[in-house]
Structure 1
Amino acid sequence: MLVGLLALSACSAPTTVTPPAPPVATTPAKPNPAKTFGLYELRVNGLSAQSQASVARVGLGAQAAEVPFDQLSFTRISMSNLVDPVNRVVHMTAGFQVTNNTGGTITLPTFIPVDTDGSYATDGQTPFRNVKTRTGAPVSAGGMAVEQGYSNSGGQIQPDPNATPFLTNIDSGTVTLGLPAGTTAPNVGHRGWQSAAALAPGASQIVTFAARVPLQGNDISDADPFSFSLVFSVADNPGTVAGLRGIHEVQGSTPSGDAASPLSGTQTIEGVVTQVAPGLSGFFVQEEVIDTDGIPATSEGVFVFCGNACPTGLAAGDRVRVSGTVAEFRRSQTYNDRDANGNVTPVTVTAPFTTTQLTTPTVTVLSSGAPRPDAISIAPNLPVAQRERFEGMRVSTSGVVTNNFSLGRFNSVDLAQTRIANFTQVNAPDVNAYSAFTAALPDQMLRVDDLTMAQNPDPLFGRNGQPLSASNTLRGGDTGTATGVLHYDHDGFGNRSGSNFLYRIMSESAAFTGTNSRTASPDAVGGSLRVGSMNVLNYFTTLVSSNSGCTPNGVDSVNSRGANDCEEFLRQQTKTVKAIAGLNPDVLGILEMQNDFDKGAYSSVAALVNALNTELGAGTYAYINPGRKIGSDAISVAMIYKPAAVDPVGNLAILDNSVNATYTDTCNRPTWAQTFQSKANGGRFTAVMMHLKSKGSACSGLNDGDTGDGQGNGYIARRNAANAIVSWLGTNPTGVQEDDRILMGDYNAYAQEEPLSILATGGYGNLFSASTYSYQFDGQWGSLDQATASATMAAQVTGKTKWHINADEPIVLDYNKEFKSAGQITSLFNADPFRSSDHDPILVGMDLTAQAPLPVTAPSTTLTPTSPTSDVTPGNSVTQTFTTSSTNVSDNLVVSTSLSKVDGAAAGTNPTVTAPTSAPANGTFDVTVNASAQATPGAYRVLVSTTAPGGTNSATSTYNVNVNGIVLGTPNNISYNTSDNTGASSTTVTAYGVGTLSYTATAAGAGAPTLTVTPGTTTGNTTPLTITATGGSAGTYTATLTATGSGGQSRSVTFTVTVTSGAMGRLMISEFRFRGPAGGNDEFVELYNAGNAAMNIGGYLVQANTTTSPFWFTRFTVPANTTLQPGQFYLITNNGSGGYSMTVTGNGTYNTGFTDNRAIRVLDGTSAIVDLAGFATAGSTACEGTCLTNGPTTGVTTQISWARRVTNGQISDTGDNATDFVFRDGTSTVANPQNTSVTFSGTN
Structure 2
Amino acid sequence: MITRPESIFIRLFCCSVLVFPALAAANTCGQSATVITEVQGNTDTSALVGQTVTVEGVLTQDSRQTGGFSGFYLQQANTPAASTRSSALFVYTRHKGGRSGQRLRVTGKVKEHYGLTELVAVSDLKVCGTHALPAPVEMSLPWTRTPESLENMRVRINDPLKITDSYQLTRFGDVSLAAKDPLISTEFMAPGAAALHHADLASLNTLILDDGHARRNPPSLNWLPAYNAAQPGSAVSSLVAGTQVRGLTGVLDYRYGAWRLQPDQIPSLKPPPLPDPAPTRPTGSNLRVMTLNLNNLFNGDGRGQGFPTSRGAETQAQYQRQLQRLSSGLNQAGADLLALSELENDGYGNNSAIAQLAASLGPHWRFVVPVNSAMQKDAIRNGLLYREDRVNALGPAQYLSGDGGRPALTQRFALKSGGLPLRLVSVHLKSKSCRNARGENAQQSDGQGCYNAVRVKQAKTLHKQLDQLGQLDKRNALAGTLITGDFNSYSKEQPISELARAGYTSMVAHFHPCTPARCEHYSYRFKGARGSLDHALASTALKPRVLSARVWNINADQPRMADYRSHSSPQSWRSSDHNPLITDIKL
State the TM-score, normalized to the length of structure 2. Answer: 0.85
Give the alignment partner of residue 808 of structure 1, picking from 554, 557, 574.
557
- One-letter amino acid of the counterpart of residue 403, structure 1: D
Task: For 1:579-598, list aligned pairs within 5 A.
Answer: 579-597=329-347
- Structure 1 residue matching 2:265: 3-state secondary structure: strand
C-alpha displacement of 1:11: 3.9
Q: Who is 2:181 aligned against?
A: 419
Asked if 1:530 corresponds to 2:317, the answer is: no
Q: Secondary structure at the match of 1:536?
A: strand
The answer as to whether partners of 2:111 and 2:117 remain within 8 angstroms in 1 is yes
Structure 1 residue matching 2:37: 3-state secondary structure: helix
**Mapped contact 2:108–2:124 kept (Cα < 8 A):** no
CA distance in 1, matches of 2:548, 2:382: 24
Partner of 1:403: 165
Map 1:14-25 to 2 at 5 A.
none
* 3-state SS of paired residue (1:731): helix
- Does the CA-based 8 Å contact 1:281-1:310 persist in structure 2? no
Distance in 1 of aligned mates of 2:277 and 2:170: 26
Corresponding position: 1:298 with 2:88: no
1:775 alignment partner in structure 2 = 524
Q: Residues 643-654 of structure 1: matches in 2 within 5 Å?
A: 643-654=388-399
Q: Write out per-residue CA displacement over residues 444-480 of structure 1, whole angstroms, 9 at most, x where no aligned residue.
A: 2111111122211133589897766365241222222
Report if aligned partners of 2:546, 2:584 keep a CA contact under 8 Å in 1. Answer: yes
Give, in angstroms, the shift of residue 429 of structure 1. 1.6
Over 3 Å counting, the alpha-carbon distance change for 1:292 and 1:829 in structure 2 is same
The equivalent position to 2:210 in structure 1, one of 449, 453, 456, is 449
Q: CA deviation at 1:423?
A: 2.1
Flag the 1:698–1:269 CA change in 2: closer, same or farther, 3 A. Answer: closer
> RMSD over aligned Cα, in angstroms?
3.1
Computing the radius of gyration from Cα coordinates, the structure with the larger value is 1
Indicate which of 619, 624, 629 corresponds to 2:368. 624
User: Counterparts of 2:438 and 2:137 in 1: how far apart (Å)?
Assistant: 54
Extract unaligned runs of 5+ from structure 2: 12-27
2:220 equivalent among 459, 473, 489:
459
With over 3 angstroms needed to count, the CA separation of the structure-2 counterparts of 1:426 and 1:326, relative to structure 1, is same
For 1:386, the equivalent position in structure 2 comes to 146
Rounded Cα–Cα distance in structure 1 between residues aligned with 2:545 and 2:584: 9
Give a deviation string over 1:1126-1156, Cα, whole Å, max 9, x none: xxxxxxxxxxxxxxxxxxxxxxxxxxxxxxx
| Cα deviation code 1:367-426 (max 9, x no counterpart) | 45x53222223223326x632211111112342222322122112112122122112112
Deviation, structure 1 residue 242: 1.7
Aligned match for 2:105, one of 322, 334, 339:
322
CA-to-aligned-CA distance 1:352-378 (integer Å, 9 cap, x gap): x2323254254344445x532222232
Work out whether residues 462 and 473 of structure 1, in 8 Å CA contact, stay in contact via their aligned partners in 2: no
Query: Residues 336-351 of structure 1: matches in 2 within 5 Å?
Result: 351=114
Identity %: 25
Paired residue type of 2:141: P
1:762–1:263 CA distance, 2 compared to 1 (3 A):
closer
Structure holding more strand per residue: 1
What residue in structure 2 maps to residue 168 of structure 1? none
Cα pair distance change 1:566/1:263, threshold 3 Å? closer
Q: Which residue of 2 aligns with 1:846?
A: 585
Contact 1:531 1:587 in 2 (8 A): yes
Residue in structure 2 matching 1:469, options 228, 233, 242: 233
User: Does the CA contact (< 8 Å) of 1:538 and 1:561 recur in 2?
Assistant: yes
Aligned-pair CA distance for 1:517 = 2.6
Is the Cα–Cα contact under 8 Å of residues 653 and 674 in structure 1 kept in the other structure? yes
Contact 2:63 2:212 in 1 (8 A): no
Is the CA contact (8 Å cut-off) linking 1:272 and 1:320 kept in structure 2? Answer: yes
Residues 393 and 760 of structure 1: CA distance in aligned 2, closer, same or farther (over 3 Å):
same
Residue of structure 2 in register with 1:264 after alignment: 51
1:311-343 CA deviation, whole Å, 9 max, x = no partner? 3xx543x2222222132142xxxxxxxxxxxxx
SS in 2 for 1:472: helix
Name 2:383's counterpart in structure 1.
Answer: 638
Number of the residue aligned with 1:713? 450
Q: Which residue of 1 aligns with 2:18?
A: none
Asked if 2 retains the 8 angstrom alpha-carbon contact of 1:463 and 1:514, the reply is no
Q: d(CA) in 1 for partners of 2:537 and 2:129?
A: 68
User: For residues 119-134 of structure 1, what are the structure 2 equivalents within 5 Å?
Assistant: none
Contact kept? 1:462, 1:472, Cα under 8 Å: no
Is structure 2 residue 516 aligned with structure 1 residue 751?
Answer: no
Aligned ranges 1:32-43 → 2 under 5 Å: none
Is the CA contact (8 Å cut-off) linking 2:49 and 2:110 kept in structure 1? Answer: no
Which has the larger share of helix? 2
Q: Given that residues 391 and 486 in structure 1 are in contact (C-alpha distance below 8 angstroms), is that contact kept between their aligned partners in structure 2?
A: yes
Aligned residue number for residue 377 of structure 1: 138
Q: What is the Cα deviation at residue 705 of structure 1?
A: 2.7
Superposed, which structure 2 residues align to 1:487-506 within 5 Å? 487-490=253-256, 501-506=257-262
- Kindly state the Cα deviation for residue 263 of structure 1 after the two structures are TM-superposed: 8.9
Alignment pair present for 1:281 and 2:70: yes
Partners of 2:340 and 2:382 within 8 A in 1:
yes
Structure 1 contact 626–652 (Cα < 8 Å) conserved: yes
Matches of 1:605 and 1:585, distance apart in 2: 17
Do the aligned residues in 1 keep the contact of 2:238 with 2:271 (CA within 8 Å)? no
Question: In the aligned structure 2, how far is the partner of 1:831 from the partner of 1:602?
Answer: 24
State how far apart, in whole Å, the 2-side matches of 1:620 and 1:712 are. 41
Residues 621 and 484 (structure 1), Cα distance of their counterparts in 2 relative to 1, 3 Å cut: same
- The verdict on how the C-alpha distance between 1:463 and 1:478 changes in structure 2, with shifts beyond 3 A counting, is farther
The residue type equivalent to 1:243 in the other structure is S
How far did 1:703 drift?
A: 4.6
Map of 2:21 onto structure 1: none
CA contact 1:275–1:285 (8 Å) conserved in 2: no
User: Partner letter of residue 416 of structure 1?
Assistant: A
Q: Which has the higher contact order (CA 8 A, sep 6+)?
A: 2
Checking the alignment, whether the CA contact within 8 Å between 2:288 and 2:583 is kept in structure 1 is yes
- How far apart are the structure 2 equivalents of 1:669 and 1:630? 9
1:483 aligns with 2:249: yes
Shift of 1:730: 2.2
Instruction: Give the whole-Å Cα distance in 2 for the aligned partners of 1:669 and 1:461.
Output: 45
2:570 is aligned to 831
Structure 1 unaligned runs (5+)?
1-9, 21-238, 331-350, 491-500, 544-550, 614-618, 657-662, 817-824, 849-1244
CA offset digits 1:1180-1212 (Å, max 9, x no partner): xxxxxxxxxxxxxxxxxxxxxxxxxxxxxxxxx
Cα deviation for residue 525 of structure 1 reads 4.4
Tell me the distance in 1 between the aligned counterparts of 2:436 and 2:118. 44
In the alignment, what sits opposite 1:204? none
Name the SS of the counterpart of 1:249 in structure 2.
helix
**How many pairs does the alignment contain?**
546
Which amino acid in 1 is paired with 2:453? I
Shift of 1:682: 3.3
| Matched-pair contact (CA < 8 Å) for 1:465–1:512 | no
Counterpart in the other structure of 2:502:
762
Secondary structure in 2 matching 1:602 = coil
In the TM superposition, what is the alpha-carbon distance from 1:671 to its structure 2 partner? 0.5
In 2: Cα distance, 1:525 partner to 1:364 partner: 72
Structure 2 CA distance for aligned equivalents of residues 388 and 604 of structure 1: 52
Alignment CA distance shift 1:240-1:610 (3 Å): closer
Q: Is the 8 A contact 1:411 1:461 kept in 2?
A: no
1:612: Cα distance to partner? 2.2
